Every structure is written in C-alpha cells, then in structure tokens.
Amino acid sequence: MRDDAPAAAVGPAAEGPAADVGGESSLDVRGVMRHLPHRYPMLLVDRIEALEPGVSAQGVKCVTANEPFMAGHFPDFPIMPGVLIVDALAQLAGVMLRTRAGGTVAGGPRSDERPGVLAAIQRMRFFRPVLPGDRLELRVRLVKTFGGVHQVQAEARVGGETAAAGELLLAS
Amino acid sequence: MEMTKASPDAIGIKDGLKSLIVERLKLDIDPQSIRDDAPLFGAAEGAEGGLSLDSVEALEIVVGIEEKWGVVIQDDSVANEFYSIDTLSALVGRLLTTGSEQATPEAARA
C-alpha cells in the first residue's frame, strides 16, 4: 500500500477503482506465488491480468502437452481434467479473497497462512474440452460472503468460448 | 413506525422459512417438524428438533431468503439472528419493513 505510487491510475481500462495490492493490479507468476501456497504440479494460475481484491479477478493458465496430468489423462488423448479447471478457478478466487483488505480468507496479502478451502462446487458445467495449446482464461467474481463462506461465480474460457462455468464456495 | 411484534404474517414467514430450508438443503424431513425455537446451527447438545446446520448451509439459507423475499442480508451483520426459526423470521419480518437497510436491533425486539 504505497500512497505515493502512481500505479493506481494505470489499472485495467474502464474498470472502477484500480486494484491496490501493494500497487499491483496484475500479477506475474511470482506475484501469484506470493499469494498462494500452491507449487508444481498444482499451481494452476500462470498470471493474473486484472485484480480487484475482494471483488473480481481475471487470470490465465496456459495448458501444455507437458502438464504432468496429461501423462495419464489420457495417454492417447491428452485433455485437462475438469476438476483441475475448477481448482485453477478456486486458486484465482483464493488470490482475489486473500488480497482484499481485512480479507477473512488469510488475513491479507503475502500471508503464509492457508488460502480458503473449497467448501462446495455448485452447478459447475463443462462445455468444451481443454487441450494442450489452449490458453485458459479464468474469471471469478465474489457474489456474497456470509459467516466466513464466500460464494464465487467462476468461469473458464478458451478463445472467448466458455469451457466451464459454475459456482464455488470457499471457506476461511 | 409499525412494530413487527406478532405481525400478521409471522406464521407465514416461519412456514416459508421451514419449507425453504427443507427444499434448498434437500433435507429428508417434514418442514413442520422443525421447532420454532430449536437451534438450527452447530451441534447444540441435546437440542431437540435442532438441525445442526453448518456455515455452507447458512449461506444457502441466506441466498434462499434473499430470493424468496427480495431482501438483502449483509455479511454477518445479522449473524446472531441465525439461530432459530423464531429469530430468523424476526429478521425477515424486519428486513421486509425496513428494506435492505441494516435494521436496528430494537425494531426486532419491539
């Protein structure tokens, strides 16, 4: 939180108040790792392109043929498991929640505490396969928080087409 | 300022809450078996008629109440009214008269 940083004015175009995560409104993978404990082979967010803490976030997961899960899922037909798409969305939601001021998930940025845990996956649907070469565009938006449970609308797209969409509940 | 004490539709709200809870949480019980004063949440020991609901189910009830009655429940501002059918129906009754504003506790206790 640097008041003197000019970065706040350079947020994503036409968005409301720019995210203030130590002056960051986007995060490279090292920035993502500051907010998540996940590491290889379970770090499923490569980059965060827009972040409004406690409100919404957009991120990217680039899928390759070298993903470890592709070896077994499936040997003759590499395809990203749907549950890992869900986890990528949950990880992005974790950053969105952790970075908000007074966030209840882990009490603010750069914490080493655990992120929110998945409490429920609701009405999640999968619309198209996610394959090596796909750039998975992740979007999450906080709908409601009550009693330490966060309701998050989540969608993953490839090339603008919805690959998966549904609702996640994350608990502190 | 009308007081909500024994408001005419209090019974309707309670019945609505019971069926909402049973339907949204897919409980295999008769809505009318839920006692008005039994604790809904947590593992209240020896709570006859209690449901031992958890925080995820609480959120589900919040969403259900908002959809059913068109009110807005702010995060945690009313957490201690999430206790029983009695306290929840008082909350809903108050939200219906005050809109989505955070209501004063006095209104509920009038």
Look up the CATH number of the domain holding residue A87. 3.10.129.10
Examine residue A8 and state whether it is found in any structural domain, yes or no. Answer: no
Is A73 considered catalytic here?
Answer: yes
The CATH number of the structural domain formed by B10-109 is: 1.10.1200.10
The percentage of chain A sitting over the pLDDT mark of 90, rounded to a whole number, equals 72
Strand partners, A136: A61, A158
- Quote the pLDDT of residue A170: 95
CB environment A39-69: b (16+ within 10 A), e (fewer): eeeebbbbbbebbbbbebbbbbbebeeebee
pTM of the model: 0.79
Nearest chain A residue to B55, by CA: A147
Helix (H) or strand (E) holding A28: none
* Distance set, CA B27 to CA B15, B63, B65, B69 (Å): 15, 17, 17, 21
Residue B106 confidence (pLDDT) above 60: no
Q: Which residues of A touch B55 (CB under 8 A)?
A: 119, 146-149, 171
Please report whether residue A24 resides in a domain: yes
Cβ–Cβ gap A144/B59 under 8 Å: yes
> What average pLDDT does chain A have?
84
Query: In chain A, which residues have pLDDT < 70?
Result: 1-24, 101-115
Of the candidates B91, B79, B82, the one whose C-alpha atom is nearest the C-alpha of residue B40 is B82
In this predicted structure, the answer to whether residue B8 has a pLDDT above a threshold of 80 is: no
What pLDDT, in 10s, does the model give residues A61-71?
A: 999 999 999 99
Residue B14 has pLDDT above 80, yes or no: yes
Does residue A5 belong to any structural domain of this protein? Answer: no
Amino acid at A44: L
- Of B52 and A163, the structure prediction assigns the larger pLDDT to A163
- What is each CA distance from B60 to A50, A64, A120, A169, in whole angstroms? 29, 37, 11, 10
Residue A51 forms part of a structural domain: yes
> For residue B9, what pLDDT is reported?
82
Q: How many domains does chain A have?
A: 1
Residues B66-90 have pLDDT tens digits of 999 999 998 767 878 899 999 999 9
- Structural domain containing residue A160: 17-171
Tell which residue, B86, B54, B65, has the closest CA to residue B21. B65
ipTM over 0.85: no
Alpha-carbon distances, residue B97 vs A111, A150, B84, B103 (angstroms):
42, 27, 20, 9
The predicted structure's pLDDT at residue A114:
53
Tokens of B67: 């959809």
Task: Decide: helix, strand or coil at residue A4.
Answer: coil
Flag if A147 and B76 touch (Cβ within 8 Å).
yes
A1 occurs within a structural domain: no
Nearest chain A CA: its distance from B95 CA (Å): 16
